[in-house]
Structure 1
Amino acid sequence: MSTRATGLLDGRVVLVNGGTQGVGAAVARAAVREGAHVAVTGRRPEPGEALVAELTAAGGRALFVPADLADAGQAKASVARVVEAYGRVDCLVNAAGLTDRGTLLDTTPELFDRHIAVNLRAPFFAMQAAVADMVGRGASGTVVNVITSSAHGGQPFLAPYVAAKAGLVGLTRNAAHAHRFDRVRINGLNIGWTATEGEDATQRAFHGAGDDWREQAAARLPMGRLGQPDEIADFVVLLLSDRSGVVTGSVIDWDQNVLGGLD
């Protein structure tokens, strides 16, 4: 875990959707370390409450908000709950994601709808509620959407995932443009292959991976390792903070493969 603490988010209220594990949990830890008050959402109370206990023990102020983000009403209500608890939302991170596999030929309407619900509709309505709070208070704010490098096209077995996440790329830019004069900055990260609990479960469930899948994957990557959640979290905190200046509407490729590069 990174140990830097420079007060980048001192006193800010940060809501991390999908914040109980993986990249989202790493963002919550980094935000608390940088002085933020944090709320995390998730479907399961056990990891949510455990993370809150960890962050509180570290001296932070943290809140777990149970929410199934596939329900647009719960995505909006998560923001309302944070405003009720902290008085406002200064920063929103949409880190929840569904990566269940499906190709163009075998994806069912039900699977497609689940991807849209979690990967696109939930960020849309969470942003709607959070930006409404910022604009209603006449306050600046920041949003970071955790997207995926697969949004550029992706693998054949990720067809509905790519469709939803590519939509989130467009939404990020549209919302940033719409609210630039409200001083609400909205950016995204197209993250590459990352070592998370969710990715471990996905590799085992869909690809028959064994205990050494990380080592095998790392051997095929340019930097010799997978990306780490803490590294992404540091980048997210930078984008949430004033240190990223006036940047808005940017969707940054956080990856070790170069789009368009050919061997």
Structure 2
Amino acid sequence: MSDLNTRHKNTIALITGGAQGVGFAIARQLIAEGCTKIMLAARDAQKGEKAISELSSANVNVQFTSFDLQDTQACLDLVSTTVKTFGDVNVLVNAAAFGGRGTLTDTSAELWDQMFFTNARAPFFLMQGFVKHRIEQGGYGSIVNILSQCAHCGQSYLAPYSSSKGALATLTKNVANAYRSNRIRCNAILPGWMDTPGENITQRKYHGATDGWLEKAEAEQPMGQLCKPHQLAELASYLLSPNAGVMTGALIDYDQNVAGAYPE
């Protein structure tokens, strides 16, 4: 078993949604465990530059590519860009997502398409490009998809979001099964309610939240907190590392509320 501080010394990572939140936390954790080459990808170039400045050092090369998740060719190009930049890529994290609101009865075709293009189609083609490259290199590699507890069901106002995450859950297992003989592992983490910059925006935009909403929400949780990106990042790092062995096709619930449990 490799040492915790060096188990990612041979990792060359591509992380979507890497400019903030979960993706950024995973990048930071990989660096703490020896990774020296990371491509961050997101839409906002300003956030990307900020992330680079926080993560880069004399021994760590962090690059950023601005891209549109709804652009299929951009997803494929992102893999080739990473390879051109670092000479290879052997780890992929699909952390970027769109979390708009919509019920069954008020979701437009445009919102449905935006949700699925971002949350399901983009990871599909990112994994397509990644797997093709790894097979050309003789196999081996690891993928972690960040899903959501909403993949199990979700609130009524998350009908298209939950559906898109459910699709990615099935895709995770399909990819894991299809390429296990190539030693390419694919797993997913399904976090519950998370404390991220994106969630702060969402709560204020869709639910009328004001200052202090986080403290109130956390006080009502069984363990007194929302899910934290830096804690989840340690799990993601393990799944991406050689330490995870043959683990593939796993959908890991990451929450303090247990799916299928009911009040006593």
> Normalised by the size of structure 2, how large is the TM-score?
0.96
Tell me the alpha carbon deviations over residues 181-235 of structure 1, each in whole angstroms, 9 at most, x when there is no partner: 0000000001111100000000000000011111111122110111111011111
Letter of the 1:17 counterpart: T
Letter of the 1:168 counterpart: L
Pairwise CA distance, 1:241: 0.2
Unaligned runs of 5+ in 2: none
Q: Which residue number corresponds to residue 229 of structure 1?
A: 229
Distance 1:209 1:50 in 2: 26
Pairwise CA distance, 1:8: 1.9
- 1:52-63 equivalences under 5 Å are 52-57=52-57, 59-63=59-63
Tell me the alpha carbon deviations over residues 94-147 of structure 1, each in whole angstroms, 9 at most, x when there is no partner: 000111100001000000100001100000000000011111110300000000
Pairwise CA distance, 1:52: 1.1
Letter of the 1:38 counterpart: I
Pairwise CA distance, 1:258: 0.5
Please tell me whether the aligned partners of residues 32 and 61 of structure 1 are also in contact (alpha carbons under 8 angstroms). Answer: no
Q: Which residue number corresponds to residue 33 of structure 2?
A: 34
Pairwise CA distance, 1:61: 1.3
Unaligned runs of 5+ in 1: none
Question: What SS does the corresponding residue of 1:57 show, helix, strand or coil?
Answer: coil
Segments ≥4 residues shifted beyond 6 Å: none
RMSD of the alignment, in Å? 1.2
Distance 1:58 1:197, change over 3 A: farther
> Normalised by the size of structure 1, how large is the TM-score?
0.96
| Greater CA drift, 29-38 or 100-109 | 29-38
Pairwise CA distance, 1:25: 0.7
- 1:13-52 equivalences under 5 Å are 13-36=12-35, 37-52=37-52
Tell me the alpha carbon deviations over residues 5-24 of structure 1, each in whole angstroms, 9 at most, x when there is no partner: 61121121010011111101
> In the alignment, is residue 134 of structure 1 matched against residue 134 of structure 2?
yes
Aligned length: 260
Q: Percent identity?
A: 42
Distance 1:135 1:162 in 2: 32
Question: What SS does the corresponding residue of 1:110 show, helix, strand or coil?
Answer: helix
Please tell me whether the aligned partners of residues 102 and 157 of structure 1 are also in contact (alpha carbons under 8 angstroms). Answer: yes
Please tell me whether the aligned partners of residues 35 and 60 of structure 1 are also in contact (alpha carbons under 8 angstroms). Answer: no
Distance 1:207 1:132, change over 3 A: same
- 1:96-135 equivalences under 5 Å are 96-135=96-135
Please tell me whether the aligned partners of residues 107 and 160 of structure 1 are also in contact (alpha carbons under 8 angstroms). Answer: yes
Q: Which residue number corresponds to residue 245 of structure 2?
A: 245
Letter of the 2:208 counterpart: G
